[in-house]
Amino acid sequence: MQRQLTFAFLGNEYRSEAIAPYLEQAMSFLAAHHAQLFIEPETLEQVDFVLSMGGDGTFLRAVNRIGAREIPIIGVNMGRLGFLADVHPEQFLPMLSEVLAGHYTLENHTVIQLHATCSAGEWNPFALNDIAILKRDTAAMIRILARVDGALLGEYQADGLIVATPTGSTAYSLSNGGPIIVPQSGSLCLTPVAPHSLNLRPIVINDSSKIDLEVESRSHSFLVAIDGRSMKMADGVQLSITKAQHVVKVVKLQGQSFFTTLREKLMWGVDQR
């Protein structure tokens, strides 16, 4: 006898009224197909799939909850852009039907990890999108010395530096002039934020590299944002960024393409003339 599949629902609490009808449909549909759905469970143990319903922020929070468990995630877009959560609400039930039938693929997305020579208390060092080193508020530019696999890359006099995964290449890095990187390309991008030099441009490196960073600031402190989760750190802290040992598994229907998402969400290559 086939084991009953279990789904966990993680949603955007601020969109609860809009989400409620779809959630009710999902509960009825899954129950009719002998599958279980748990709403905002305290634990994700024994969960086969996570349903993230909201926007990309909700998707990232779901990734944070999943951690290193590598539970496949289905992102349903109830927000605006929905680049990560790319399933339209009207496609939700048909997609669940395909998942139950096994007609899907799992797309592995690189995760990066921050290591710091300080005690930062309770914090999650993993990022699906990016890790950004940033100046604080109205402080002057910061100085970031970057090394890749022990070799000096350069000194950044800038408002910050973004280390982005292929997934994150269409987020904060793209807004700062970084390139779009195709998933599973095995690379990372270092993108400066408002650099005080014409000689500092985004650079793409192998994702097996270790990135070491030293930061100096006139305010003697700076910010580290891990997928938008910010914390303050003091000058002198040694930072390093590496690829994590786990990945984020995203459920894709057969035939879904990254380039289709680019065209639909970012209007890539669309000529309005």
Read off the pLDDT of residues 103-112 as tens digits, 9 standing for 90 and up.
999 999 999 9
For residues 129 and 127, give the distance between their C-alpha atoms in angstroms, rounded to a whole number: 6
pLDDT digits (tens, 9 = 90+) for 64-79: 999 999 999 999 998 7
**Beta pairing class for 6-11 and 49-54:** parallel
Report the pLDDT averaged over residues 4-23.
Answer: 86
3-state secondary structure of 6: strand
Closest Cα partner for 205 from 151, 257, 248? 151
Is 149 catalytic? The answer is no
DSSP H or E stretch at residue 74? strand 73-77
CA distance 245 to 248: 11
CATH number of 5-103+254-266: 3.40.50.10330
Section 12-30 average pLDDT:
86
- For residues 31 and 10, what is the distance between their CA atoms, to the nearest angstrom? 18
How confident is residue 120, by pLDDT bands cut at 50, 70 and 90? Answer: low
Could you read off the pLDDT of 162-204 as tens digits, one per residue?
A: 999 999 999 999 999 999 999 999 999 999 999 999 899 999 9
Mean pLDDT for the stretch of residues 75-90: 86
Higher pLDDT residue, 255 or 183? 183
175 annotated ligand-binding residue: yes
* pLDDT tens sequence across 219-249: 899 999 999 999 999 988 999 999 999 999 9
Instruction: Retrieve residue 191's tokens.
Output: 């993108």
Q: What are phi and psi of 210, to 5 degrees?
A: -105, 125
Domain spanning 111-245, CATH class:
mainly beta
pLDDT single digits (tens) 3-13 = 789 999 998 87
With 70 as the cut, is the pLDDT of residue 121 above it?
A: no
Instruction: Return the domain boundaries, the chain.
Output: 5-103+254-266, 111-245
Alpha-carbon Rg for the chain, nearest whole angstrom, is: 20
The amino acid present at 137, given as its one-letter code, is D
- To the question of whether residue 171 is assigned a binding role by annotation, the answer is yes
As a whole number of angstroms, the distance between CA 108 and CA 182 comes to: 12
Count the Cβ atoms, other than its own, within 10 Å of residue 41. Answer: 16
| Block residue for tokens 């992102």 | 75
Q: What is the pLDDT of residue 44?
A: 92
57 annotated to bind ligand: yes
Please tell me the distance from the alpha carbon of residue 152 to that of residue 96, in angstroms, as a whole number.
49
**Of the listed 56, 86, 212, 227, which one is catalytic?**
56
Q: What whole-number distance in Å separates Cα of residue 43 and Cα of residue 41?
A: 5
Mean pLDDT value of segment 34-51:
92
DSSP 8-class letter at 140: P
pLDDT band for position 207 (cuts 50, 70, 90): very high
Mean pLDDT over all residues of the chain? 92
Known binding residue 174? Answer is yes
pLDDT given at position 268? 82
* pLDDT > 90 fraction of the chain, expressed in percent and rounded: 69
172 assigned ligand-binding residue: yes
Q: What is the pTM of this model?
A: 0.93
15 annotated as belonging to a binding site for a ligand? no
56 is in an annotated binding site: yes
What is the C-alpha to C-alpha distance for residues 35 and 217, in angstroms, rounded to an integer? 54
Rounded to the nearest 5°, which phi and psi values hold at 103?
-95, 70
Residue 61 annotated in ligand binding: yes
